[in-house]
Amino acid sequence: MYLPRSIISQLYLRLLQSHHPLSPPVLILVALEPDALCACRILTTLLKRDYIPHKIQPINGYGDLARAGEDLVRPMRTTEGGSGGVVVCMGVGGLVDLADILGLEGDEKGSMGGVEVWVIDARRPWNLGNVFGGQPGRVPLEEQDANQRRKNIGVKNGCITPSYKSDEGGIIVFDDGDIEEELTAERDAYCALLEMPEVDDDGQDSGDSDSVTDTDDTPGSHTKKRKQFSDRDEDDDDDEFDGDGPPRQRRRSNSGSSLTSPNRYRREQRDSSQSSRSPSPASGSESPAAPRQPSARTLRRRLIRLKRKHESVLRAYYSLGTSYSEPISSLLYSLASELGREDNDLLWLAIVGVSSLELSGRTMAGVGISNSSESGGSAGWGGERGERIRQILRDEVRRLNPPEASEASREARSEINGVIPTTGRSPTDTSILLSPEPRFLLVRHWSLYESMLHSPYLAARLHVWTENGRKRLHKLLAKMGVSLSQCHQTYTHMDMELKRVLRAKLLKYAPMYGLEGLVPPASSGGQFGAYAGWGFVRSWGWKACLSATDVGVIIGAILEVGKIDPSSSDSDRHRYQQARKKEDGASNDASDQDPDSSNILSRFWSAYDAISLTSSESPTNLLSSLPLAQHLHRAILRTGTSLLSKHQIRHLRAFRIAVVKDGPDVKLFTNPGALTKLALWVGEAVRVQEQEKDGLKVGGKRAVGTPLVLAGLDEDRNVYVVVGTGGGGGVIDFAALAQKNDEKRKKKEAQEKKRVEREERRAKRAAERAEKGGDEDDGEEEETEDDDNSSDSDSDSDSDDGRGSSLYSRSIVRNRFGIAFQEVVQETNARVRIDSFEHCVVEVQKEDLGGFLEALSFRSVVG
């Protein structure tokens, strides 16, 4: 089932009304990612304000999710001795059948034991069983009694209505608008298949056999039926007449309208049996021929064709590849707004969650390089839709943070000059401001030179991994009038006059180096308002001033790295230990070395505490983890520079491949999140290189290169962590193009062969009729009509597939590495572990990496 966005607060209000002191706590399953973490913070804040107890369980992958289902969710079922309750999945399980993985399969009565699962996930494609199914008591319609029908009141075609009430649980997906707007065809196909009687393509019926077949249930009936249906296609019972036209017109009418639903199919069967028993209304000794109804065999063929058509719609949806929709932190802020609970704290969490998506490469085309806007501002994760959401957040910032009368002129001057704020306006200032943030990394907490050097956007376009690239960076700073001694100082200690003119200088000189989108343009009343492309900054008095991107970088580093490995020889370790010395005495616990579970839990709770809403704690925890974020991005620059300068990136048939297996930072990139950021950095550099080298054009736009596969060696576990990133819109996937062309050619040859065979059969039957001199054309008529209907059905299916693809792709090339990985696993003996919620991340046994990549190179990895 799915909850439309227009009534997004309905379930929460029902929970609030039904809650009492003895109610079980709400179980929240949270993915280890900044967006889910911020959404979890928003939800727990709402629950605390309403005195609703809750329990948080971090989930790192499908293995953790299955264990949580066995240990935490199943005991909640009333059939297992529990008292039911609510389970909230945040960034967890949107792509899989949650009823199966959480152990909520219905019993003989279809009950889910009173456990209601709320699914809030930005990953796509949805598992349609969760979206349009997931109802308790979901049994075939003919087996439902009156009580079961009453239980399903409030759900229409999987959509929850305001009258929905259920105490038996179920799976409910929170719709951000995509389901109602884009999944109409999938909803119709899914619901039709759900109510359709089970019919095997080989002619056997596994359900509702009495209404579909004409044979009895005697021991020999099965063999007799198979023999009868395998005979030649000539069958006098298959002809139809309606008295008003030839059989061909009647047959086309049935194929176009009578098969729109299985209920209509059952009515035709019932009418057929009644008409065969009723006497002829005509008087006289000879009655006119009654209209002949279609036989069971004809109806079965039509039902099978209809089933295949609906299944092709669902297959087309699942084969699109992965993508991301609206961030779930934004969706949870919408819930708070509907409840009238919005404030600065919840708004800041939503802003951080939205800003974090771009940092981790989560775009509308899946995990990969986003098509950054050359007009300035944040590159964004969702194109026009993403910019609309950010503009709504900007409007909320200005609504909840109005300037005081005495500070109105000061703020206006600051906005006109575009000065980056670095401190609060007063010791008690905790407001959120709009700021013309450049695409620099941690600019307030680093020197200007280091911030520019480690910026992925700037590094890729200046080629900072080469000596000439560093010289271009120095020339840019010289043209701006910033000396090397000044740019190596901490940004907050730079000359005030330089900071005032920095944005104007960047707007003037950055285009000379191909950096048109380095800073947002001047304020204008365009499509997205006066401050399109501007970032968000929050102050904690005079303690700290952080941008939303800064917080996203720090939170991501905590989740992906944790504490720095004590065995690292890099000088960052010493600086990080000094920064942590006051908190934990610079001690390195043995738990830091423990793999997976304990380390993951400590990372999650550290990040959870870092975004605390308590004004006195939040900046302290974040600032103490700044060296960790700086260490991660220094390692990304070092490793990426090594891969590019040593030409270690190979170009295979469908993608580029690089392997990180040595160096001082190899252990750092055993985490999928850190490895993904390195892949995005390298992929951006490769894309810029290809643009400058070839200047290819695809659809009127510059090509952005092929996808990238990056593997990081985990020596302790003897595996490679492999991540596959897309290249954004316009990627040229030569393997996919070759496969599509081959499929088109084979399909055309099959259609031509079928047409020739049909013409030969017609000629042969015409010769036989001429020899016999009779008018025995019923068989030919039936075969011709069947062939025509089959061709029409195939063409309809093809058109539906094309429509579905155009509907969802919208000229976006999506990441299909998850599908390609699964295909390789099924066809090879490679030892592969797929456990991450990011299906483009897998673990491959060290010895099997070569064969795995070789098989993967023949797959379509974007689509």
**Residue range 777-806, pLDDT digits in tens:** 444 444 444 444 444 444 444 444 444 433
**Given a cut of 90, is residue 70 above it in pLDDT?**
yes
Q: How far apart are CA 453 and CA 440, in angstroms?
A: 8
Between 196 and 309, name the one with better pLDDT.
Answer: 309
CB 821 within 8 Å of CB 832: yes
Between 520 and 467, name the one with better pLDDT.
Answer: 467
Q: How far apart are CA 527 and CA 251, in angstroms?
A: 53
CA distances 674 to 54, 567, 619, 811, Å, are: 31, 18, 24, 29
Any bridge partners for residue 697, and if so which?
Answer: 702
pLDDT in tens, 639-656: 999 999 998 998 888 888
Between 36 and 566, name the one with better pLDDT.
Answer: 36
Between 443 and 358, name the one with better pLDDT.
Answer: 443
- Region 510-519: what's the mean pLDDT? 85
pLDDT of residue 137: 59
pLDDT of residue 56: 95
Q: How far apart are CA 544 and CA 424, in angstroms?
A: 8
Would strands 697-698 and 719-725 be described as parallel, antiparallel, or unpaired? unpaired
**Given a cut of 90, is residue 226 above it in pLDDT?**
no
- Region 659-688: what's the mean pLDDT? 90
Structure letter (DSSP) for residue 525: -
Listed residue (35, 10, 62) closest to 175, CA to CA: 10
**Given a cut of 50, is residue 702 above it in pLDDT?**
no
Sign of torsion over alpha carbons 242, 245, 251, 252: negative
Find all residues with CB under 8 Å of 125, minimum gap 6, and list them. 95, 317, 318, 320, 322, 323
pLDDT of residue 617: 62
pLDDT of residue 787: 47
Q: What's the token pair of residue 593?
A: 């070395």
Q: Predicted confidence band at 382 (pLDDT cuts at 50, 70, 90)?
A: low
> In this predicted structure, which of 27-36, 516-525, 718-727 has the lowest mean pLDDT?
516-525
Structure letter (DSSP) for residue 385: H
Q: What's the token pair of residue 774?
A: 């009779």
Helices of type H across 532-649: 548-561, 571-584, 597-610, 618-624, 626-645
Q: At what angle do helices 34-49 and 597-610 cross, to 10 degrees?
A: 60
Average pLDDT score over the chain: 76
pLDDT in tens, 823-856: 898 888 889 998 999 889 999 999 999 999 988 8
pLDDT of residue 63: 92
CB 344 within 8 Å of CB 401: yes
Q: To which residue do tokens 């964004």 refer? A: 380
Q: How far apart are CA 13 and CA 224, in angstroms?
A: 60
Query: What is the Rg, in whole angstroms, of the alpha carbon atoms belonging to the chain?
Result: 32
pLDDT of residue 732: 41
Q: How far apart are CA 632 and CA 630, in angstroms?
A: 5
CB 241 within 8 Å of CB 247: yes
> In this predicted structure, which of 400-414, 435-449, 685-699 has the lowest mean pLDDT?
400-414
> For the purposes of burial, counting CB atoms within 10 Å of the CB of 591, is it exposed (0-12), middle (13-18) or buried (19 or more)?
exposed
> For the purposes of burial, counting CB atoms within 10 Å of the CB of 83, is it exposed (0-12), middle (13-18) or buried (19 or more)?
middle
3-state secondary structure of 724: strand
- pTM for this prediction: 0.78
Percent of the chain at pLDDT > 70 equals 70
Listed residue (365, 324, 181, 183) closest to 812, CA to CA: 365
Residues in the chain: 863
